[in-house]
Amino acid sequence: MPNTPTDQALFKAAEAVRARAHAPYSRFHVGVALLADDGEIYSGCNVENAAYPVGNCAEASAIAAMVAGGGKRITRVYVTGPGSAPVTPCGGCRQRIREFADLDVQIISHGVDGEPLICTLEQLLPHSFGPEYLPK
């Protein structure tokens, strides 16, 4: 398990924001902490809605916080959720991360009570489409 001061800070930030999740429908509280190229940690939780499809994943919230805070690139990702199985980003959020991260960026997925799963973005989203495919 990664145990550098940065990893500890990312885990702590993901857990702190997970406690604020608005998830009255699924009761599945998720926290995400991103390390950005500006050295800052940006975090976000899932925000559900009575109109279910309008809810936001924690990854989307964290990315919005990063963009609003001036971060440009994601260099490391922590996802924490309940239980012992690693909570990995959903398919849509893998693509959201792809917009701001290189393929070798590590995504650490935790169920808080279990061992983390550590994958690169490329492992989670192989053969992916990204911004460089579009004409400038």
What residues make contact with ligand THU under the rule CB under 6 A?
23, 26, 28, 30, 46, 48, 55, 57-59, 79, 87, 89-90, 93
Closest CA relative to residue 60, chosen from 8, 21, 111, 7: 21
Among the listed residues 59, 99, 115, 122, the single catalytic one is: 59
CB of 96 to ligand THU, least distance (A): 10
Whole-number CA gyration radius for the chain: 14
CB nearer to ligand THU: pick between 71 and 89 = 89
Catalytic residue at 40? Answer: no
CB of 81 to ligand THU, least distance (A): 7
CB of 57 to ligand THU, least distance (A): 3
Q: Which residues contact 81 (CB under 8 A, 6 or more apart)?
A: 18, 28, 29, 30, 31, 87, 110, 111, 112
CB nearer to ligand THU: pick between 38 and 114 = 114
Can you say whether the dihedral through the CA atoms of 92, 95, 100, 101 is positive or negative?
positive
